[in-house]
Amino acid sequence: MNIHEYQAKQILKSYGVAIQEGVVVNDNAMTESSVNQLKEDTGTDWVVVKAQIHAGGRGKGGGVKLAKNMEEAKQRVNDILGMQLVTPQTGPEGKKVNKVLIAQDVYYPGDSEPKEYYMSVLLDRALGKNVIIYTTEGGMDIEEVAETHPEKIWKEWINPATGLLPFQARKIAFNLGLTGVAMKGMVKFVNALYNAYVDTDSSMFEINPVLKTSDDKIIAVDAKVDLDDNALYRHKDHAALRDESEEDPTEVEAKKFNLNYVNLDGNVGCMVNGAGLAMATMDIIKLSGGEPANFLDVGGTASAETVEAGFRIILKDPNVKAILINIFGGIVRCDRVAQGVVDAYQNIGNIPVPIIVRLQGTNAVEAKKIIDESGLEVRSAILLQEAADAVSEVLS
Amino acid sequence: MSVLVNKDSKIIVQGFTGGEGTFHAGQMIEYGTQVVGGVTPGKGGQIHLDKPVFNTVAEAVSITGADVSIIFVPPAFAADAIMEAADAGIKVIVCITEGIPTKDMITVKAYLSDKDCRMVGPNCPGVMTAGEAKVGIMPGFIFKPGRIGIVSKSGTLTYEAVDQITKAGLGQSTAIGIGGDPIIGTSTKEAVELLMNDPETDGIIMIGEIGGSMEAEAARWIKENGTKPVVGFIAGETAPKGRRMGHAGAIVGGKDDTAAAKKAIMRDCGIHVVDSPAHIGIKMAEVLS
């Protein structure tokens, strides 16, 4: 589960990770008091207005702006709040900005130059261990650094039995070229960060940039936090951080029916039991001349209720020209699923696009008979290839 | 012969008396699998499905001689159940449970590293040796004893492959559902290696999906050590980057874990890759003839 920068920073702060402080607002009327509060708390002169959406590259799309006085701050908040922010990660339609973070300016001049670093904590799947990835090339896209300067990326694997060891934190600080107060600050930062990652059951932390300020403080200027959905049951307070307005509304609705749905750009909808078979079905739609309009896993029990909910969700997408239902009945009997499809079809009334139902497994032949004799505009198939051919035929 | 489980395997069911455990243990017994008992803490001494229930895995092992365990314990308690099985000396631990927190699985992985056992899963359909033992949730009737081994991350896509193999006039030795989570006990490479060394297996089907690097690792191993034909398929050619496709591990992170990149590596390593999931069975029949 993704959360906003301001929420992520609050979590980090509660674990002792130093952050760029800020106040979140959803109304420009709050700007003046927020800026004043921030100045009082941090002594900052300038402020940075940062769009709060679940996507990276916000600066590139004009979602992060510096303001040097109150008038400018209000202007920036006015510009960014409510804008449709387009970044390399949002897609061309962009995302609406409902909240902005008014944050302290941390690039103030001082005894030394401010310096940006990159640090992330995530799971190394191959080893089954957490790894801290870091580089001196902060503020840049890490994939770009991996491409152009792979030698500048360091990794520190953490032994699950010991956790992060003191020498590892020191190694990270020294590898980043830090000395004195800044070095000690980085050791503290890394320790607090890793502790927060483990304790919150996170799947990923990405702090880009980590900043050494001109007075040698080490702070998180941005924070991307992805929490492990499977562990939310033991972090009830984190579950409340979910911002459904950041998610596709259809995906949110699907979740209510325990359907695993991802909206895509294509023209053929699909409804499948099992995630692997669902992806394979999307692939076969493409091979049949279509493009998948969605991923939809109805799970282990494909009942009339789930099929009907699936139909209604897929049909919300006006680009859908055909629907392929692909169920491999193992434990679930195909004749029951077939009856479910017929009932759902009749409940919805008129479904304006052709439907192809492929039912294989337990009682597949009986299922085909139910579909064929229903009198509905539904094509039936048993073999996967037959379903693929039917998709081609419907699209041509 | 076959691998991991066979007609002589003595199997216990952890989470035996729960809804899932009861239903699937019943199906396993009906298939002829040698289920010798089950474990539900606090219900020791009862009889369930005509088999004894034990409080601990250790007790179940000492009394029944069980060497295989299948786990249907809810996600919050599943990691503990896996480690209990390992501690009791179970050799093959099959964990069906979906939704175990990753942090718990990091602990499990470290705990198992010096134990003499193999874990399959979690979040998997289980392991099945056709005609001998069904240690999982797959539909038994689609299997036919034969000489094709199957390795797959997914449940229903495994059934699809099994069914196609049967319809192609072939049959299965052992099907291993390795699971779709980010941390799993048996990797694609390890499962392929087991089947490559099995004298009862003539050909291997390897089914993967987007995310991670296990298929590439398996492909490179096959190139160096392969002695049998391998037919491969990777699901998710059409999956967009950065979106999780159902399985916790099925997400394209970089350019190396896309379906296209995995298929290219597999082809380079001599695997017969099919683009359509409808061609898995006929491809294997063609390769073997």
Q: Give SS3 for A298.
A: coil
pLDDT of residue B253: 72
Rounded to an integer, the average pLDDT of A57-64 is 91
Give yes or no for residue A302 having a pLDDT over 70.
no
pLDDT given at position B2: 81
10-49 of B, contacting A, C-beta below 8 A: 27
B227 touches chain A (CB under 8 A): no
Rounded CA-CA distance A376/A257 in Å is 25
Task: Identify which of B101, B102, B278 has the shortest CB distance to residue A385.
Answer: B278
A319: DSSP letter = T
How big is the CA angle at A297 (ends B259 and A290), to the nearest 5 degrees? Answer: 55
Nearest C-alpha neighbor of A274 from the set A190, A211, A360: A360
Interface predicted TM-score of the whole assembly (ipTM), two decimals: 0.90
Q: What is the pLDDT of residue A66?
A: 96
Pairing state between β B51-54 and B47-48 = antiparallel
Both tokens assigned to B276: 């359509």
Q: For this structure, is B24 an active site residue? A: no
Read off the pLDDT band of A301 (50, 70, 90).
Answer: low
How crowded is residue A23: how many other Cβ atoms within 10 Å of its Cβ?
20
Confidence tier at B248 by pLDDT (50, 70, 90): low
Nearest to A318 by CA among A274, A269, A273: A269
B2-60: pLDDT as tens digits: 899 999 999 999 999 999 999 999 999 999 999 999 999 999 999 999 999 999 999 99
Record: contact A125-B156, CB cut-off 8 A: no
Tell me which DSSP letter residue A126 carries.
T
Strand order in the sheet with B230-235: B133-136, B126-129, B172-177, B145-152, B203-209, B230-235, B272-273
pTM: 0.92
Fill in the amino acid letter for B243.
R
Stated as kind and residue range, the H or E segment containing B145 is strand B145-152
∠A78-A79-A85 over CA atoms, to 5°? 130
Residue of B nearest to A234 (CA): B76
- State whether residue B154 sits within 8 Å of chain A by CB: yes
CA B282 to chain A, closest CA, distance in angstroms equals 11
| Residues of A (30-49) whose Cβ lies below 8 Å from B | none
Name the active-site residue from A5, A21, A137, A206.
A206
